[in-house]
Amino acid sequence: MNKPVTAARKRTSWKTRIGLGALLAAQFGQAAAAAPEQAELDALRLQLEAQSKKLTEQQQLLEAELRKLEQHKQSLQETRRSIEAMQLQLGMPVDINPVQVSEADESKYRGRGPDSAERVDNVLDAVNLFSEPSIMTPKGTFVFDPYLQYVYNSSDRLSVIGFSVLNAVLIGEINVSQANRTNWILNLGGRYGVTNRFEVEARVPYIYRTDDTLARSITSTSQNELFSADGNGIGDIELAARYQLNAPRDDGAFYIAGLRFKSRTGKDVYEVEYDPLFNLPTELATGSGFYSLQPSLSGVLPSDPVVFFGGLNYTWNIKRDVNEMVGTEFIGEVDPGDSFGLNFGMGLSLNERSSFSVSYEHTWIEKSTFEGIANQGLDVQLGTLQTTFAYRLNKTTNLNLTIGAGLTEDTPDTTMTLRLPMKF
């Protein structure tokens, strides 16, 4: 009876083993099938991570581009506000959105914030550096414009008393003199804007002069002697008015007409005493001695980033009947001769505080006449090259330094002018 039981157990054991083997084989088959799927999942995960990284980089680039676009937008807005402010200062019509008007205050039309206002003013200051401002003072604004000027001039004079018998032989007396002249001028003046296109100006100079001359007196026969003289006092007071003729749009030029009147409040050469030995003044004059009237026409052409300007003027020096003894001579009617002048140059705003300008001025002065008889001398030609540096101290005050060099014989050798215009 035991043997059959054992055989039955053996059959059951084999069946169990076969079932376990089948189960293990199925599990191994499932694991083998799952291996490729896991590899694909890992690959997809890596791709997703790479794409996510690329998307992050692209998002950062997009944000950077958006920031740049915003900066450009703000720059365009500032430029537009600056143009509107310049148009208002020049008296030009400005196209303004009514919705913006209801939301803006007065600063909207002058540039929002101090920086944009300074940029606009600097462009204008680049032109305002010379004696003839080319941009009108805004309506209701007063500009106090004092300056201190130093002028130095040296000259050699050759006078001949005699006659020539041949080209190289001179019979008579030759007198050579040298003179060094120094002028200090403190000029107090200002401009006031009556309208945005019309301004008036007044100037009162105080002058201190010194002359050192090497000349031969009438008692000397062999050598020159040093003769020194000085003088100081109020000079010739000036009044002027300027009007802007047009208000162009786009890139047009601005044209300004001006009229300047010069008095003869200063002491002139006919009112001072003369040394009889040298026939030179013992006190130097501070005025010209003649009234004059000067009409002018100037133009300004903005061309980013510079401003070109130029002008023409004619000075009518009104003749005068002196009827006085000057030194050893009697002086009757004197006509000092009229003059014609031109100037041109360019101004450049370097940054929000600094600007630079360069200009050239030339003046032709006609011969003087005495009692209707023209002077036998030549016409006088004055040519000056000027360079100006300007620095903005604050919103209302500038500091300007102008250096001029004389390019003709009759022009002062060196001119330096320090100006301090202040707006009120």
Q: What is the pLDDT of residue 331?
A: 79
In sequence order, what DSSP letters do the residues of 249-307 get, joined into one string? -TTPPEEEEEEEEE---S--TTSS-EETTTTEESB--SS-SS-EEEEEEEEEEEETTEE
CB-count burial class (<10 Å; 0-12, 13-18, 19+) for 353: middle
In sequence order, what DSSP letters do the residues of 40-74 get, joined into one string? HHHHHHHHHHHHHHHHHHHHHHHHHHHHHHHHHHH
Q: Could you tell me the pTM of the whole model?
A: 0.67
Q: What is the pLDDT of residue 155?
A: 77
Residues ≥6 apart with Cβ < 8 Å to 299: 134, 253, 254, 255, 256, 309, 310, 311
Q: How many CA atoms lie within 13 A of 158 on its CB side?
A: 2
Give the pLDDT confidence of 168-194 residue by residue, as tens digits.
444 444 455 688 899 999 999 999 999
What are the residue ranges in the chain where pLDDT is below 70? 1-36, 79, 81-135, 156-177, 218-222, 250, 326-328, 372, 374-378
Q: Is there a contact between 255 and 312 (Cβ–Cβ < 8 Å)?
A: no
Q: What is the pLDDT of residue 280?
A: 82
Q: What is the pLDDT of residue 122?
A: 41
**Which homologous superfamily is 114-423 in?**
Autotransporter beta-domain (2.40.128.130)
Q: Residue 208: which H helix or E strand, with range?
A: strand 198-215
Q: What is the pLDDT of residue 46?
A: 83
Which CA distances in Å does 12 have to 15, 16, 26, 61? Answer: 5, 6, 21, 73
Q: What is the pLDDT of residue 322?
A: 82
Residue boundaries of the structural domains of the chain = 114-423
C-alpha 209/C-alpha 412 separation (Å) is 14
Q: What is the pLDDT of residue 13?
A: 56
Q: What is the pLDDT of residue 110?
A: 32
CB-count burial class (<10 Å; 0-12, 13-18, 19+) for 210: middle
Q: Residue 165: which H helix or E strand, with range?
A: strand 147-166
Q: What is the pLDDT of residue 363?
A: 94
